[in-house]
Amino acid sequence: MGDGRGDEEECRVALLNGGGAAKEGWQVVSGGDGKLRRRVWEESRKLWVIVAPAIFSRVVTYSMNVITQAFAGHLGDLELAAISIANTVVVGFNFGLMAFGAKKYHMMGVYMQRSWIVLLSCALLLLPMYIYAEDVLLLTGQPPELSAMAGRVSVWFIPLHLSFAFLFPLQRFLQCQMKNFASAAASGVALCVHVAISWLLVSRFRFGLVGIALTLNFSWWATAAMLFAYVACGGCPETWNGLSLEAFAGLWEFVKLSAASGVMLCLENWYYRILILLTGNLKNAAIAVDALSICMTINAWELMIPLAFFAGTGVRVANELGAGNGKGARFATIVSSVTSLVIGLFFWVLIVGLHDKFALIFTSSDVVLDAVDNLSVLLAFTILLNSIQPVLSGVAVGSGWQSMVAYVNIGTYYLIGIPMGILLGWLFKLGVLGIWAGMIGGTAVQTLILAIITIRCDWDKEAMIASTRMDKWSQVR
C-alpha cells in the first residue's frame, strides 16, 4: 500500500470484524461506556471545520462553471454542446499532504512549492490537447461543426488550465491547516466578480463563447491570486517561509506519490468526460450532448459536497495516521462516510422530486428539457453512489494508497464501465441511457472494492507506515 506498496495484503485486519476487533468495534458503536456520542460529536466537529468552508468554497467555485454553462445554453443548443465538449479537455490536478498531522510545519510550504513545479510541468505538457482540440475531437467521432466551435473555445481555456497548477495546491495547503475560511472568502468574492463580468461580456457586449472563456480565466486566476496573497502576507506564518530552492530538492520522491494521486484523480475525472464524448457519436448529437452535459453539470455541482468530504476525510485520516493514531483514522472514516451518505440521500430525493424542472436553469428548449427528464433517474442514482465513493477515495489519499486505487480505477472504469456502456448504448440500442447505465455499473464496482479494502485495513500498521514515510520525507533536502 502507501508509498507505492500497492499490496492488498496489508489490509488484513477488519474495520469491524470478528474476534477482538469486533468486540472493540461493538463497544465503540454501542455507546455502552457513554463515550460514543461525545466521540462522534468531536470527530464531526473536526471534520466539519474542514468540510463546511470547503463545501462553500467548492460549490461557489463550481458555480462559476454553472453560470458559464447557463449563459452558453441560453445562447443556443450548439453553443451549450460546444462549451460542454470543450470542458472535457480541462483536466484538474490535486495532491495529498501528511505534514500537518506529523507536526512537520516547516515542510508544508516546501511541499506546496514542489507541487507547483510538478503540476505546472504537467500542465505545459498537456497544452497540445488544447491547441489541437478540434483535431482530437474529430478523431473521436464528434460532429465537425461541434468540434470546430469547441476547438476554438479550448484555446481560450489555456489560461484557466494553467491556473489549476497554482490554485489546487494552495487550496489543499490551507485545508491541511484548517484555514478553509480563506478559500471560502476568496471564492465568494470571485463568484460575485464572475457574475458581473459574465453579464457584461456575454449579455451586454455579446462576446459569445469567447467572452465566457475570458470570464472563467479571470475568475479562477483572481481566486488563485487572492489565496497566494493571503499566504504570502502572513496568513500562514508557521508553514510559509517564502519561496525556497529547497522545493527543487527531492522532487523525484515527491513526484512518485503525486503521480499516483494524479493518475487516480484523472482516471476518475476523465471517466464521465468520456461519457460526453461517447454521446457525441450518437444521432442528434447536439441535443444528446446538451441533455447529458446538463445532468453532468448538476451531478458535478452536487459532487462538490462529497469532494469536500474527500478532502476533509483525506486530511483527517492523514492527520491521525501522521500522528500515529490508527484507531482515530478508522473512526474518522466511519463518521465521514455516514455523514456524506445521509447528504447524498437528501439530494437523491431532491432530484427525483424536481426531475422535470431543474434543467430550466440551463435551457428553455423543450426537446432538451424532455431529454434531461428522461435521464433524471440515472442522475439521481449517480448522485447517491457518488456520495460515498469520493469519501473512500479520500481515505485512500490520506492513507497513501494512490497507486493501488489507480489500478482499481483502471479495472472498474475502463475495463468494466466503458465497455458495458458501449454494449448497452450501441448493441442494445439504448443510446445515452445505456452508455450512462453501464458506466454507473463501473462506479458501483469500484465503490464496492474500495469499501472492502477500507473495511479490511490494518489501521495501526498504516499509522506506522505513515510515520516512517514522514520521517523519510523530512530528511529529504
Report yes or no on 1 lying in a domain.
no
Report yes or no on 3 lying in a domain.
no
Say what the pLDDT of residue 84 is.
52
Rounded CA separation 110/18 (Å): 43
Q: What proportion of the chain, given as a percentage, has pLDDT over 90?
A: 14
| Mean pLDDT, rounded, for 195-215 | 82
Say what the pLDDT of residue 9 is.
33
Cell numbers at 188, concatenated: 465568494
What tens digit of pLDDT does each residue of 292-340 get? Answer: 878 888 888 898 899 889 878 888 888 888 788 888 889 999 999 999 9
Rounded CA separation 445/330 (Å): 22
Number of structural domains (the chain) is 1
Cell numbers at 198, concatenated: 459574465
Report yes or no on 171 lying in a domain.
yes
Rounded CA separation 274/88 (Å): 8
The DSSP secondary structure of 187-244, one letter per residue, reads HHHHHHHHHHHHIIIIIIS--HHHHHHHHHHHHHHHHHHHHHHHIIIII-TTT-----
Banded model confidence at residue 50, pLDDT cuts 50, 70, 90:
confident
Report yes or no on 79 lying in a domain.
yes
HSE-CB at 26 with a 13 A cutoff on CA atoms is 6
Q: Who contacts 283 (Cβ-Cβ below 8 Å, separation ≥6)?
A: none
> What's the CA dihedral at 190, 194, 195, 199 to 10 degrees?
160
Say what the pLDDT of residue 92 is.
36
Report yes or no on 147 lying in a domain.
yes
Say what the pLDDT of residue 343 is.
95
Say what the pLDDT of residue 379 is.
92
Over 70: is that where the pLDDT of 191 sits?
A: yes
Rounded CA separation 217/363 (Å): 24
What tens digit of pLDDT does each residue of 207-235 get? Answer: 777 787 888 889 989 999 999 999 999 88
Report yes or no on 2 lying in a domain.
no
Say what the pLDDT of residue 13 is.
31
Q: Which position has the higher pLDDT, 203 or 217?
A: 217
Torsion sign, CA atoms 240, 246, 247, 249: negative
What tens digit of pLDDT does each residue of 128-184 get? Answer: 888 888 888 788 777 787 778 878 888 888 898 888 888 888 887 887 777 878 888
Q: Which position has the higher pLDDT, 356 or 261?
A: 356
| Mean pLDDT, rounded, for 2-7 | 36
Distances (CA, A) of 311 to 171, 266, 315, 453: 10, 16, 6, 19
Rounded CA separation 84/146 (Å): 10
Say what the pLDDT of residue 225 is.
95
What tens digit of pLDDT does each residue of 53-85 get? Answer: 888 888 888 888 777 767 665 555 455 555 555
Say what the pLDDT of residue 261 is.
63
Domain that holds residue 420: 8-474
Cell numbers at 371, concatenated: 431529454
Which residue reads 431543474 in cell numbers?
A: 358
Over 80: is that where the pLDDT of 346 sits?
A: yes
Q: Which position has the higher pLDDT, 185 or 274?
A: 185
Stretch among 32-36, 457-461, 469-473 having the lowest mean pLDDT: 469-473
What tens digit of pLDDT does each residue of 388-418 get? Answer: 988 988 888 777 776 787 788 788 888 998 8
Cell numbers at 63, concatenated: 458555480
> What's the CA dihedral at 66, 261, 458, 14 to 10 degrees?
40
Rounded CA separation 53/147 (Å): 38
Report yes or no on 441 lying in a domain.
yes
Banded model confidence at residue 96, pLDDT cuts 50, 70, 90:
very low
